[in-house]
Amino acid sequence: MVMIKINIAEAKAHFSRYIETVERGETVTVCRRNVPVAEIRPVSRPPRGKRRVGIDRGMEIPDSFFEPLPDDLLAAFEGDNDVR
């Protein structure tokens, strides 16, 4: 991959052209008097579509996951300090 270096005047004059270059995955280094001061680079795009629950693609959630928690565990979440 060739690194693209441009001076500020070039960036101002042809900004749209360099944005198209960035959209293709390239990084453009902007320089002031040939000294790099900034980079224009592509941003990560969010994944398309709904994400499945969990990390494992084959993961299945058991029905017990949706059952109410035991009273002692609920009490602990609610700050009941008498639970041991």
Whether residue 37 contacts residue 11, with contact meaning beta carbons closer than 8 Å, is answered with: no
Model confidence, pTM: 0.52
Tally of domains in the chain: 1
Helix residue spans in 24-83 (DSSP H): 71-77
- Residue with the bigger pLDDT between 24 and 48: it is 24
Q: Could you tell me if residue 25 is inside a domain? A: yes
Q: Could you tell me if residue 75 is inside a domain? A: no
What residues make up the domain containing 8?
4-40
Q: Could you tell me if residue 81 is inside a domain? A: no
Whether residue 40 contacts residue 30, with contact meaning beta carbons closer than 8 Å, is answered with: yes
CATH code of the domain containing 32 = 3.40.1620.10
Q: How far apart are CA 75 and CA 3, in angstroms?
A: 60
In sequence order, the 6+-apart residues with CB closer than 8 A to the CB of 53 are: 59, 61
Residue 46 — φ and ψ, nearest 5°? Answer: -65, 150
Q: Could you tell me if residue 26 is inside a domain? A: yes
What pLDDT, in 10s, does the model give residues 47-76?
A: 777 766 666 767 778 899 899 989 988 888
